[in-house]
A = this chain, B = another copy of it.
Amino acid sequence: MTIAQVAREFQLTPDTLRYYERIGLLPNVGRTAGGIRDYSQEDCNWVGYIKCMRSAGVSVETLIEYVGLFRQGKDTIPQRKQLLLEQREQIMGRIQELNDVLTRLNWKLDGYEERMLQYEGNLSKDEGEK
């Protein structure tokens, strides 16, 4: 797979993919004889994983740490699991936070609902009944 194909598939830009590779987040991407990137299925899986975690706000730095552990082999399984558990905690906290904001927003919207009815009421007084 070329860089453009991968970018299209995962809704990223080629620049972002090169950036990920440069900072060590997506290492060892293969090349053709001419030096052009050729993404394997495994590379694509990593891209999908990165994309997913990034979308949840996991930092690039944390992801680099994770792939680093992964590349050190199975001895790092406990650490990796620990990292994932921490990420899960963070994401759950984030969801909680968003739900709180949502509650407040709904409450505020109720207020607008009332004010709009009032406004429409005035409208009908000014224009409707005539």
Contacts and interface: CB of A to CB of B under 8 A. Distances in A.
Contacts of A74: 115, 119
A85 B116 CA distance: 14
Q: Is the interface of A mostly helix, strand, loop or mixed?
A: helix
A78 B116 CA distance: 7
A104 B48 CA distance: 11
Given A77-B115, A97-B55, A116-B78, A109 B92 contact: no
Contacts of A31: none
**Most chain-B CB neighbours within 10 Å: which of A74, A108, A119?**
A108
Given A95-B95, A98-B94, A102-B95, A116 B56 contact: no
Interface in A44-94: 52-53, 55-56, 74, 77-78, 80-81, 84-85, 87-88, 91-92, 94
Contacts of A97: 55-56
A5 interface: no
Nearest to A120: B78
Nearest to A55: B97
Contacts of A85: 109
B115 A88 contact: no
